[in-house]
Amino acid sequence: MSEIAVNRSVLETTLSGAFERRSNFGAHGWSIILIEAALLWISSGSVVHGLNIILPALTATYSLDNTRLLALATPASWASILAGLVGAWVCAHMGPKFLILLSLTGGGIAFGLLGTWGSTTGFFILFSIVCFFDTCLAYIGGPTLVTSWFPRKKGLAFGWATMGQTFSTATYVPYVAFCFATFGIQRGFWGITFLMAVMAVVVWRFAADTPEALGCAPDNMPMSPEEIDRSRRDQEAFVDPITVRQLLGMRDVWFMGLAFGGLYIIIVGLLSQFVARLIAMGYPLNTAILYMSIAAIIGVPGAYMWGWLSQKLGVKACAMLYLGWYAVALAINIFELNTVTMWISLVMIGEALGGATNLSMSIVAEKFPRGAFVKAWGVVNPIQSIVRCCAFAILAFGLTYLGGFRGAYSILLGIALISMFLLWLIDTTPVRTTAMT
């Protein structure tokens, strides 16, 4: 190869890398990212953060047992596992836009009715429906849109989109509290339904299953109308030849599910006990909650940081760095916290809040690009969810039998190291089939 050819190859590689780290998504592309950000805001708030105010409100209004409702919330959330399978099937056959619109409708109605069906049975049924549809819209349909629009810039796109998830930690509960104070408990739940109805109109008006359907190029790359039209025809003709049975037989699929399932155990363990950890240090409850809100605000730009790093380093290397980051945060928490180490840990946890969702999706999209993503994600996501459901049992074991926080965090540190090893074993070389790229 001549020196000129070598230099040209190096230049093209450099320009390609720089292109993939630029947020030039185009007007339509930005609309897709903002849609997914809003969907993540709604979903993560409705099934996680919102319980902080939803359960006390239902308890006070209908004289229900708060502990009983909290206990029922866990099996109700298992509907998210089923959503990964069913949502992926609907998405593959009807398209992500259809799935999102269907889920906004079903999830919105179920959430609104939470304030009117005043029984534990009613809460369990309705919250199960909310968990099912909210998972479908934000964690199946939305990611499929993003990976279809940005096959090369997926990490960066998810970096921006997951800001919505992180921002939800600090803003969802105040919004619901405002709705309850303004409209009462029975009608206040419909405040989220209203936002979901607005999102349905936005998705119907501005979203498309592929960029080619709107005359745009994937990743907003320079392409002629003829090239875009050819790409559109290829995507419409694409039929994923990989079966669920074949996916379940791939070690990389299992490693992705187990590694990121382990990561979610770590996140749940840290976040669910951080307020209790601060209270044990002598901080009052309101101060501890305030510090967690500060962590959430810190995490908003952190979501973009991990997206940028995944484009810069590659998603596998970035994911291993991310787990290493959490391992350090855990190591700090194993020992007695003081003011300095507490704030170091707080900043580290906050900066990492948005990275897990981004990286867990991006690594699947790296291995299974564009049209193949939804079927693969429909297998990997339930594996992650099943592993994540073990979080509270593992945490309770450590707190009860291994000396409290030190023992619990030591288990989580071990899980972090195992997850890093599983990530190291993953081969992210894309599975090549027709019309994937």
What is the CATH number for 379? Answer: 1.20.1250.20
Contacts of 45 (CB under 8 A, 6+ apart): 168, 172, 173, 176, 192
**pLDDT above 90 (res 8):** no
Could you tell me if residue 115 is inside a domain? yes
Query: What is residue 394's predicted lDDT score, i.e. its pLDDT?
Result: 86
- Helix 120-135 / helix 26-44 crossing angle, nearest 10 deg: 160
**pLDDT above 50 (res 435):** no
Instruction: Give the whole-angstrom CA distance, residue 399 versus residue 397.
Output: 6
Could you tell me if residue 12 is inside a domain? no
Could you tell me if residue 200 is inside a domain? yes
Instruction: Give the whole-angstrom CA distance, residue 166 versus residue 44.
Output: 9
**pLDDT above 60 (res 436):** no
Both 398 and 251 in a single domain?
Answer: yes
Mean pLDDT of the chain: 86
For residue 165, the enclosing domain spans: 27-237
**Nearest residue to 397 (alpha-carbon basis) of 418, 412, 382:** 412
Both 177 and 51 in a single domain?
Answer: yes
**Final residue in a domain of this structure, among 207, 237, 267:** 237
What pLDDT digit, counting tens, does each position of 394-429 carry? 888 888 888 888 888 899 999 999 999 999 999 999
**Final residue in a domain of this structure, among 197, 212, 237:** 237
**pLDDT above 80 (res 285):** no
**pLDDT above 70 (res 365):** yes
Could you tell me if residue 18 is inside a domain? no
Both 128 and 80 in a single domain?
Answer: yes
Both 252 and 232 in a single domain?
Answer: no
What pLDDT digit, counting tens, does each position of 136-190 carry? 999 999 999 999 999 889 999 999 999 998 888 778 888 999 999 999 999 999 9
Both 271 and 395 in a single domain?
Answer: yes
Both 191 and 217 in a single domain?
Answer: yes
In this prediction, residues 315-342 reach a mean pLDDT of 89
Both 69 and 202 in a single domain?
Answer: yes
**Final residue in a domain of this structure, among 193, 219, 237:** 237
Could you tell me if residue 435 is inside a domain? no
- The pTM score is 0.85
Both 248 and 230 in a single domain?
Answer: no
Both 94 and 224 in a single domain?
Answer: yes
Both 162 and 233 in a single domain?
Answer: yes
Amino acid at 320: M
Query: What is residue 393's predicted lDDT score, i.e. its pLDDT?
Result: 82
Could you tell me if residue 1 is inside a domain? no
Both 272 and 304 in a single domain?
Answer: yes
What DSSP assignment string belongs to 212-244?
GGGT--GGG----HHHHHHHHHHHHH------H
In this prediction, residues 79-108 reach a mean pLDDT of 94
Number of domains the chain is built from: 2
Could you tell me if residue 365 is inside a domain? yes
**pLDDT above 90 (res 125):** yes
What pLDDT digit, counting tens, does each position of 98-113 carry? 999 999 999 999 999 9
Query: What is residue 138's predicted lDDT score, i.e. its pLDDT?
Result: 95
**Nearest residue to 333 (alpha-carbon basis) of 380, 256, 241, 269:** 269
Could you tell me if residue 437 is inside a domain? no
Res. 20 pLDDT band, cuts 50 70 90 = low
First-to-last alpha carbon distance for the chain, in angstroms, is: 28
Res. 66 pLDDT band, cuts 50 70 90 = confident
Both 115 and 87 in a single domain?
Answer: yes
**pLDDT above 50 (res 260):** yes
**What percentage of residues in the chain have a pLDDT greater than 90?**
49
